[in-house]
Structure 1
Amino acid sequence: MSTDASATDSTPERPVALESEADLDEFLAAHDRVLVDFYTEGCTLCASIEPVVGNVARAHDDLAVATINPRNDPPLIDRFRITSAPTLLLFEDGEVVGRLASGFQGGDAIDAFIENPGGDE
């Protein structure tokens, strides 16, 4: 699945599947706050977190959510230091402000991460 231009015109209510680094850059440019789920095919934790990420997308009006398999575009792995899957990155104005790479996370943990991506600093 790839995005079309209309998918980035407003904050989508469900995660948008992205295919490439160019798609991701376009998505980041179109939205102020973005949560990206970096996943891999065959990853059971990734499959388990997918519906949770969908619920998060519906619960946050000011947050656009996308999913991408970095193996489809390997430069993403180095660019965002993806060392495990799933990895959730929170972006504000195109910049990474938070990273959650602790395996499966429930909705409450992801909500807390979105509200306080730097932890209790």
Structure 2
Amino acid sequence: MTETATPETSTDEPRPIELNSVADYDALLEQHDLVLLEFVTSGCGICASMEPVLGAVVRSAPGAVATVNAGLVPDLSAEFDVRSVPTLVVLRDGEEVARLDDGFQGAETLVELLETHAVE
């Protein structure tokens, strides 16, 4: 697993984990009980606008936050039946407990969603 960083961003800044394979996904689940996955595609404008939101979620919500390029990891996209992007899936102990697949979501919504599933 690699942490993503863009040239204009400090590497000290918390960032979502970029999953590039099913093996990365499996390793993430071994390390974290609560995970927010965002499925994206290259060139998706809404997905790009979610990047700073996910950075805020990483800093203030429980659990891990990860992104998956649906086109590059088709096995995961199929496993989660991703039909549009961005699709956000919350996993608790490896099981899907929530899904948002209706476009842009604000940081507050995502933080509240993770906090809700962290206390179960």
Q: TM-score range by the shorter chain?
A: 0.7 to 0.9
Q: For residue 101 of structure 1, what is the amino acid of its counterpart?
A: D
Report the identity percentage: 46
Large movers: runs of 4+ above 3 Å: none
* Unaligned runs of at least 5 residues, structure 1: 5-12
Using structure 1 for the length normalisation, give the TM-score.
0.81
> Is the deviation greater in 89-98 or in 103-112?
103-112
Alignment deviations for residues 41-68 of structure 1 (CA, whole Å, 9 cap, x no partner): 10000000111011001102x3111111
The runs of 5 or more residues in structure 2 that have no matched partner are: 4-13
Structure 1 counterpart of 2:106 = 106
Q: Is the 8 A contact 1:100 1:113 kept in 2?
A: no
Q: Check if 1:72 corresponds to 2:72.
A: yes
Instruction: Find the aligned partners of 2:96 and 2:2 in 1 and give their Cα distance.
Output: 21
The secondary structure found in structure 1 opposite 2:99 is strand
SS at match of 1:71: coil
One-letter code aligned to 1:78: A
> TM-score if structure 2 supplies the norm length?
0.81
Mapped to 1, the partners of 2:71 and 2:30 lie a distance apart of 22
1:20-48 CA distance string (max 9 Å, x none)? 11111111121011111111110000000
| Matched positions, count | 108
